[in-house]
């Protein structure tokens, strides 16, 4: 038993809390140990044997039969806008998540620069709900977020796509030296404001127009300890080449790399995750700091516009909508989507999932939701590609989809790897519709389906991947462990009952089996109900 510095004598009336009789998962990956946890001042003071603090004055929380673990860290979230909403985003806190890493896949809500401010606002509307844009720099954005307050702790990344858009717009061109310097200065300003790194989204405009050298030059500007997180260029037939590029960026830039939502899309590519993990393991042995994350589902989700070829996506929303109104452009795109793979190697989501594998999940009007493109084509009396075009035109590009292109055996393989963390990758809050159920159930699903029911990995190891590993990777100081001096972000759950509750047609259900969630020593969730106070904080990288 060890004691944190500055501990006051037990028995004083200084606000001690005792969690008694818990099965303690300390986040380190070792066996669970039955014990009591002593808290004060929002931090863990000591962990002892059952009954060790019976004489302590203060609140006692009985936890017999429950596992108490560090609060979970969602390493791949898109809840950048959560602090700006009047409604409270409880989708993660109800899962036991106390910290979210936001700004993934190259998307962040700052910085904005003239003359491309309206382009970013319009582009963000493809995936985010309407926002009131009142900021420009990343520091200004964070001031707005701070004013709104945080349901969970907030660890932001700056998006490479947003940096590129601020300087170049959505253009299929390489930056010249001046433009790259301007992007770098915006990155430096975001670092100064307190981001944890930079993300890229290399299947999305404008990131898909960038080259490896551009990404290396920007990643080199990240201080030691910050992260380059990447939605790679290809997760299908060119998965291995995309892994190689991510590793190359990390090696050349000397920066830590996080491979986002590792998967193999498309039946012909199932099993390729083994080779991807082999490459990542080799890079680790060679000294590249690289990890990966996964979500525990065999379907993915993103914006419907990614079904269109890269050339179709150049320019802002109005340029894309103009092409959708142009019969020649639509015919050319349809030929590329349905025909042989183009020489540039672009695959798109239709090639990996088929039209029946694309379900409309969320739209601006909430029309079309819950049906796949074959079903919609039958309703509309058109071919499936024309149904895709119809939905995008009708919804002014504000359409998200769920994609059936993965294999659960691959999910098992990635989940079982010791360098894998967990990320929800859910849609931003406030979108509505039928978003992928990972928004509501990712972490309980790991603990229920993949730990308890299927034994893909053990409970202590799963908890370590949700807590201490992401805390080390992203530099979340004082979080991710149950140990003296750590912040008392904790979750208590029944290991026999914890489970996700939603599905793809009816996703919006909170999980079951979570007894309570604590943030800095204060109860935020009790018996599956959020208690109404935004107790989270914006985190900053450790010095």
Predicted TM-score (pTM) of this structure: 0.96
Residue 91, pLDDT > 60, answer yes
As beta bridge partners, residue 199 has 159, 229
Q: Are 417 and 292 in contact (CB under 8 A)?
A: yes
Q: Which residue has the tokens 């931090």?
A: 43
Instruction: Provide the pLDDT for residue 14.
Output: 56
pLDDT above 90 (res 422): yes
**3-state secondary structure labels for all residues of 311-364:** HHHCCCHHHHHHHHCCHHHHHHHHHHHHCCCCCCCCCHHHHHHCHHHEEEEEEC
- Write the CA distances from 193 to 116, 153, 186, integer angstroms: 21, 16, 11
CA distance 152 to 100: 7
- Axis-axis angle for helices 317-324, 384-394 (nearest 10): 140
Nearest Cα to 469, choosing from 397, 399, 520, 415?
A: 415
Under the banding of pLDDT at 50, 70 and 90, the label for residue 343 is: low
Tell me which residue of 427, 477, 478 sits closest to 194, measured CA to CA: 477
Average pLDDT of the segment spanning 139-147: 98
d(CA 263, CA 272): 8
**Cα 112 versus chain centre, distance:** 22
CA nearest to 18, candidates 61, 49, 48, 50: 61
pLDDT band at 543 (very low <50, low <70, confident <90, very high): very low
202 confidence band (pLDDT: 50, 70, 90): very high
pLDDT in tens, 172-191: 999 999 999 999 999 999 99
Is 467 within 8 Å of 71 (Cβ atoms)? yes
Say what the pLDDT of residue 13 is. Answer: 39
Query: Is pLDDT above 90 for 15?
Result: no
End-to-end CA, the chain: 28
SS3 at position 467: coil
Least confident of 70-79, 324-333, 337-346, 532-541: 337-346
Whether the CB-CB separation of 210 and 526 falls below 8 Å is answered with no
Q: How confident is the model at residue 7 (pLDDT cuts 50, 70, 90)?
A: very low
Could you give the CA distance from residue 495 to residue 160 in angstroms, rounded to a whole number?
A: 39
112-139 core/surface letters (b: 16 or more CB in 10 A; e: else): bbeebeebbbbbbbbbbbebebebebbe
Q: Over range 196-224, report the average pLDDT.
A: 98
Q: Exposure string (b/e) for 462-480, b if CB count within 10 Å is 16 or more?
A: bbbbbbbbbbebbbbeebb
**How many angstroms separate the CA atoms of 148 and 150, rounded?**
7
Closest CA to 30 of 484, 486, 460: 460
Q: Are 427 and 127 in contact (CB under 8 A)?
A: yes
State pLDDT tens for residues 229-275. 999 999 999 999 999 999 999 999 999 999 999 999 999 999 999 99
* Predicted pLDDT of residue 348: 85
User: What are φ and ψ of residue 46, in 5° steps?
Assistant: -165, 155
> What tens digit of pLDDT does each residue of 476-525 get?
999 999 999 999 999 999 999 999 999 999 999 999 999 999 999 999 99
Helix axes 239-253, 212-219, angle to 10 degrees: 40
Contacts of 149 (CB under 8 A, 6+ apart): 83, 534, 536
320: tokens are: 């894309």
Contact 315, 329 (CB under 8 A): no
Residue with tokens 């818990």: 22
What pLDDT shows up at residue 10?
35
* Beta carbons of 216 and 198 less than 8 angstroms apart: no
> Per the structure block, which two tokens stand in for 416?
């079982």
Model confidence at 413, in pLDDT bands (50, 70, 90)?
A: very high
* pLDDT > 70 in the chain, percent: 97
- Tell whether the model's pLDDT for residue 345 goes beyond 90: no
pLDDT of residue 339: 84
């Amino acid at each position: 038993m060890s004691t944190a510095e500055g501990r006051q004598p037990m028995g004083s009336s200084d606000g001690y809390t005792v969690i008694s009789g818990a099965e303690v998962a300390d986040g380190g990956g070792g066996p669970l140990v039955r014990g009591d946890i002593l808290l004060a001042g929002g931090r863990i003071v000591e962990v002892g044997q059952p009954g060790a603090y019976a004489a302590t004055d203060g609140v006692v929380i009985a936890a017999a039969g429950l596992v108490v673990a560090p609060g979970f860290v969602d390493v791949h979230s898109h809840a950048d806008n959560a602090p700006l909403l009047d409604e409270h985003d409880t989708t993660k806190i109800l899962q036991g998540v106390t910290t979210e890493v936001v700004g993934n896949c190259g998307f962040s809500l700052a910085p904005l620069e003239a003359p491309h401010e309206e382009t970013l606002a319009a582009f963000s509307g493809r995936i985010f709900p309407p926002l009131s844009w009142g900021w420009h720099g990343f520091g200004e954005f964070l001031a707005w977020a701070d004013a709104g307050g945080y349901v969970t702790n907030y660890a932001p990344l700056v998006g490479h796509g947003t940096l590129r858009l601020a300087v170049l717009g959505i253009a299929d061109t390489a930056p010249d030296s001046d433009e790259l310097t301007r992007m770098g200065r915006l990155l430096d300003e975001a670092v100064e404001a307190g981001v944890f790194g930079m993300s890229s989204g290399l299947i999305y405009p404008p990131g898909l127009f960038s080259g490896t050298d551009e990404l290396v030059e920007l990643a080199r500007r990240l201080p030691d300890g910050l992260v380059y997180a990447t939605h790679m260029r290809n997760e299908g037939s060119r998965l291995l080449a995309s892994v190689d590029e991510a590793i190359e960026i990390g090696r050349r830039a000397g920066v830590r790399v996080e491979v986002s939502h590792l998967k193999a899309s498309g039946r012909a590519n199932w099993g390729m995750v083994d080779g991807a993990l082999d490459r990542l393991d080799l890079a680790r042995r060679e000294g590249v700091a690289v990890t990966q994350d996964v979500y525990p589902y065999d379907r993915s989700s993103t914006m419907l516009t990614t079904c269109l070829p890269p050339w179709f996506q150049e320019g802002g929303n109005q340029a894309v909508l103009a092409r959708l109104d142009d019969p020649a452009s639509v015919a050319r795109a349809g030929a590329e989507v349905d025909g042989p793979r183009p020489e540039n190697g672009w695959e798109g989501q239709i090639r990996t999932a088929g039209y029946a594998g694309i379900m409309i999940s969320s739209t601006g009007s909430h029309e079309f939701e819950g049906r796949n493109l074959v079903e919609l084509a039958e309703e509309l009396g058109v071919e499936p590609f024309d149904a895709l075009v119809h939905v995008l035109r009708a919804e002014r590009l504000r359409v998200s989809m769920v994609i059936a292109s993965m294999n659960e055996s691959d999910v098992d393989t990635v989940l079982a790897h010791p360098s894998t963390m967990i990320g929800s990758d859910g849609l931003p809050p406030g979108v509505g519709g039928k978003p992928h159920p990972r928004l509501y159930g990712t972490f309980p699903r790991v603990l229920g389906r993949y730990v308890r029911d299927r034994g893909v990995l053990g409970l202590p190891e799963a908890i370590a991947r949700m807590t201490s590993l992401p805390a080390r990777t992203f530099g979340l100081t004082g979080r991710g462990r149950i140990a003296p001096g750590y912040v008392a972000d904790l979750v208590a759950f029944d290991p026999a009952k914890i489970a996700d509750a939603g599905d793809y047609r009816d996703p919006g259900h909170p999980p079951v089996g979570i007894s309570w969630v604590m943030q800095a020593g204060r109860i935020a969730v009790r018996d599956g109900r959020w208690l109404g106070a935004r107790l989270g904080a914006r985190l900053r990288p450790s010095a």
